[in-house]
Structure 1
Amino acid sequence: MLSREDNELICRVGPGTPMGNLMREYWVPALLSKELPGPDCDPVRVMLLGERLIAFRDTLGRVGLIQNHCPHRGASFFFGRTGECGIRCVYHGWQFDINGNCIDMPNEPAESDFRHKVKAVTYPCVERGGLVWTYMGPRETPPPLPDIEINMLPEDEIAIIPSYVESNWLQAVEGEIDTSHTGFLHFGSIQPEDVEEGTFLHYTVKDRAPKYSVVDTEYGTMYGAYRPAKPGYVYWRIAHFNFPFYTQPPEGALGHSVIMNAWVPMDDTHTMSYVMVRKGKSETGRPARLPIQGDSEKYPDMHVPMLPNTSGWFGRFRPAVNATNDYLIDRDVQRNGDDYSGIQYLASQDRAVQESMGGIYDRTQERLASSDVMVIRVRRRLLGAARALAEKAVIPPGVDNPEVYRNRSGGVLLPEGADWIEDTKELRQAFVEHPEIAEQQPQP
């Protein structure tokens, strides 16, 4: 468990906080490119690291991210007029470009040079892989973007699934790096005899208490969760935490699966999730819900339904299955054993437990066990990096070394006694194709 002081330090991300300052050292996903569909389109409200910002696309197609309040009298730029390579406050017509320069002040005398003395806070933006990235840190020249494989592929090969999570960012990250919950929350009602022998799912439900090996890396932390497989072999689930808030879950076969999940803090108690996967047989590369025995028509394999977006600060990409309807839990399905949780969708199952902890869970109340070793190690790394930056100005891991993000995750069978780190080195390398891997191992 964490002390109260450490729990506050690791969870709070607003301006001036140690963890907020750490995250501002990195490029951060701000929104999807398609949310700004064309030059001079409607502005979008964006809550990011505790700051209220307005995203807009100018006449040349460039993206700007500007402070919410006009520097003149504080009216919101959300109501602004886009055009003429800027955004114009409708209160008095002051216009600003994507760099925060005031380029027109029509209610002042023509001979006035006052506009040259007024500047709005803006953050530089770049687009890559369907995402708008922004740098909110102190450097005049930002660091390079991270070499995240999935974000560097052609856009037609990428599926991005955005989703609003009503909890602190760390609860979402910790849910993703906790591999033992898979055999319960998601697969708890599936028995070994219900699935094909030799599949990853078979090994998972046959032994729901894996052992762990965890190591620190240049980019964060890596774990290998292992359990017995066919005679003479061990099934390994290898996954990563990447600074400051990325996870690569062990979905699919190691060497074939290309995935990265970003858990971007909107503020201390709201998170925007971006699941980025390489398109495959399904749009997302992952099942929207897990298989159950029984009525497949009642629980179809489909995406979590979403509510229509609104223009509010927390109005984007909200799941229709949420706390207000108890995540549509079906107690009959839960009781009769068709589904362990009784909640239909995989993502909704995760969201239900993470959001049920509250906005920021009081980790002084935890009782951690051996299965929480990855959670413990990641917390130590985050706290250590935040304190090193605050106290000694040590640049956090990966900021200036984009190549350290070139990793893959997934499941793999290794002979008993194998060195899991050395023997998976090639399979864990990004941008290396292994066409034979996809057909070797049946997937759940």
Structure 2
Amino acid sequence: MLSKEDNETITRVGPGTTMGNLMRQYWVPALMSSELPQPDCDPVRVMLLGEQLIAFRDTDGRVGLIQDKCPHRGASLFFGRNGECGIRCVYHGWQFDIHGNCIDMPNEPEDSDFKHKVKAVTYPCVERGGLVWTYMGTRETPPPLPDIEVNQLPDGEYTINPTMLECNWLQAVEGEIDTSHSGFLHFGSITPEDTQEGTYLYYTVKDRAPRYSVVDTDYGVMYGAYRPAKPGWTYWRIAQFMFPFFTQSPEGILGNHVITNAWVPMDDTHTMSYIIIRKVSSESGWPGRHPIQGTAANYPTVQTPTLPNTTDWFGRFRSAVNASNDYGLDRDRQRSGLDYSGIPYLPAQDRAVQESMGPIYDRTQEHLAISDAMVIRVRRRLLAAARGLAEKQVVPPGVDSPAVYRNRSGSTLLPEGADWIEATKELRKAFVDHPEVLQQQP
């Protein structure tokens, strides 16, 4: 349970807030590269860390992220004319480049040098792995980008699933690092008899109360959730939290699973989720993100359908399965036991519970249990890092150490009593494949 003060501190991300200042120490994903498909294309409204920004791709193909309000009289630059290597306000024609320099002021006398005294707020952008990343901090020279493995994959070898969530960013993060919910929300209607004995799903539904080992790392927090497996073996689900809002989920085979989830705060009550995952062929033994066998094979796991993007601040990547239609809840499926929740899509199941907590959940009302060990530890790390920065100017974890993000997550079988951290050390290293692990049955 958090105090009211701690709940405010850890959830609020707007300009000038303690947690918002922490977020601004890092490079953050701002939008998909595909949202700006070609030079001089239409600008895009982007809400990011409580700021209203306009993204545009200039004539040379460079991406700019500029304040929404024109520095002249405050008209929105979303209506601007994008061309000639800058975005031009339609009110009086003032034009700004991706660095915020005013490069044309046509309603002023030709001999005026006033344009050199006006500068718009902009944030540097870098494109990597299908995403536009931006740095919103105060350093003149930004820190390096985090060396997340999915950032290094060639085009065509990864997919990105973006979805907007209508809730606070921490609710989304905590939903991802809460491993015990899988045995209920996602697989609660599945019995061991529905699965193939010896699979990871079999062990999950056979024992729905895993035990936990949670450790601090130089990039955040790692957990190992473990259950009994075949005689003499233990089934481990190992996952990561990486500052400030990245997670790596445990569904795939450790050593082969390459995934990073970014839970980017748009503002205090909206989150943009980017699930970036390496494509894996069916021959690899991991045909999808979730291990489904037996009668569970009819369980929909694909990305939920999205509504067409609109141009408003919260109009990007909205799910068609949402609160307005109860996330597709089907009580007959729920009663029949086909679905534990009655909600047919796994991503929608997560959003249903996270968004149903309200825009910002009041954590003073909760009652945490042993199964919340990872949630508790991540909160402590976030609060300590944010306050360390605010009170003592301590640089948060990972900001200047991109290599600490070279991690993997996933599931594995270990001999009973093995030191799970040491035993999985090599399997958790990014950029190294282990084809031998594919012999394990997911």
**Bucket of the pairwise TM-score, normalised by the shorter protein:** over 0.9
Q: Deviations over 1:21-77 (max 9, x none)?
A: 000000000000110001000000000000000000000000000000000011101
Change (3 A) 1:291 1:351: farther
SS in 2 for 1:155: coil
The alpha-carbon deviation at position 100 of structure 1 amounts to 0.2
What do residues 79-137 of structure 1 show as CA deviations (whole Å, max 9, x unaligned)?
A: 00011100000000000000000000000000000000000000000001000000000
1:329-348 to structure 2, matched below 5 A, reads 329-348=329-348
Distance 1:88 1:291, change over 3 A: farther
Contact 1:288/1:345 (CA < 8 Å) preserved in 2? no
Displacement after TM superposition at 1:293 (Å): 4.1
Q: Is the 8 A contact 1:292 1:338 kept in 2?
A: no
**2:128 is equivalent to residue 117 of structure 1:** no
Give, in angstroms, the shift of residue 13 of structure 1. Answer: 0.2
Deviations 1:360-388 (A, max 9, x none): 00000000000000000000000000000
Partner residue, 1:310: 310
* Structural mapping, 1:62-81, within 5 Å: 62-81=62-81
Written as runs of structure 1 = structure 2, the 5 A alignment for 1:21-420 is 21-281=21-281, 286-287=288-289, 293=295, 296=298, 300=300, 302-420=302-420
TM-score, normalised on structure 2?
Answer: 0.97
Encode CA deviations 1:370-418: one digit per residue, 9 max, x unaligned: 0000000000000000000000000000000000000000001000110
Q: State the shift of 1:436 in Å.
A: 2.2
Letter of the structure 2 residue corresponding to residue 414 of structure 1: L
* Alpha-carbon separation, structure 2, partners of 1:312 and 1:406: 36
Alpha-carbon separation, structure 1, partners of 2:48 and 2:348: 23
Query: More displaced, 121-130 or 147-156?
Result: 147-156
SS at match of 1:132: strand
> Offset of 1:280 from its aligned partner?
1.3
- Letter aligned with residue 158 of structure 2: I
Whether the aligned pair in 2 keeps the contact of 1:53 and 1:66 (CA below 8 Å) is yes
1:436 counterpart SS class: helix
Instruction: Give the deviation of 1:295 after TM superposition.
Output: 9.9
What is the match of residue 2 of structure 1?
2
Q: Tell me the matched-pair count.
A: 439
Residue by residue over 1:204-263, the C-alpha shift from the partner in whole angstroms, topping out at 9 and shown as x without a partner, is 000000000000000000000000000000000000000000000101110000000000
Partner of 2:441: 442
CA drift at 1:291 = 6.8
Distance in 1, matches of 2:294 and 2:114, equals 67
Tell me, in whole angstroms, the C-alpha distance in 2 between the residues paired with 1:161 and 1:321: 15
CA RMSD of superposed structures (Å): 1.5
What is the TM-score of this pair, normalised by structure 1? 0.97
1:263-314 deviation line (CA, Å, top 9, x unaligned):
00000000000000001137x9644896784894xx6554311100000100
Distance in 1 between residues matched to 2:178 and 2:401, nearest whole Å? 27
The share of aligned pairs that are identical, in percent, is 77
CA distance in 2, matches of 1:369, 1:200: 24
Partner amino acid, structure 1, of 2:309: N
* Paired AA for residue 9 in structure 2: L
Look up the SS of the partner of 2:185 in the other structure: helix
- CA drift of 1:339 comes to 0.8
Gaps of 5+ in 2: none
